[in-house]
Amino acid sequence: MMKTTKAYELHRLSVVKSMLAEQLHQAETEQERDALKLQLDQANEDLRKLHSPNGDPVVSEHAIIRWLERVKGIDLNEIRAEILDGRSNQIRQLGSCNFKLPNGMKMVVRGHVVVTILDKQQQTGEAK
């Protein structure tokens, strides 16, 4: 199972909650409304559990990326090019694949998207 961050899960649940609220608004039958209310209640409960009881702030991956790009001056297009370095044609042909990188890491591609880079411990299933 893929581990998600708290920020990602908060965002995902917020999107789910918005979608359910819209569906509830458009529901035509009482049965539909009742089912959607149950799902909405569950999403609200899951969100409540995720919020830090002590109010610790959460930094999203999006914010981290923007910080690296805008504050630290890291060129994300340069990083994208380095990640794809000579692999674009293979990814285009295969769609989903894994690449063993020269440094021992592994690049995971699913549906033409580079989804992660695994270090040696992650490849063997060991926790970091």
Q: Is the pTM of this model over 0.85?
A: no
Residue 124's pLDDT is 74
Residue 10 near residue 56, CB atoms below 8 Å: no
Residue 60 near residue 12, CB atoms below 8 Å: no
* Residue 54 one-letter amino acid: N
Q: For 28-69, how does the pLDDT look when each residue is reduced to its tens digit (9 = 90+)?
A: 999 999 999 999 999 888 888 777 677 667 777 788 899 999
Q: For 98-124, how does the pLDDT look when each residue is reduced to its tens digit (9 = 90+)?
A: 999 988 999 999 999 999 999 887 787
How far is it, in rounded angstroms, from Cα 70 to Cα 43?
34
108 membership: H or E segment, kind and range:
strand 106-110
Q: What is the DSSP letter of 107?
A: E
Residue 54 near residue 47, CB atoms below 8 Å: no
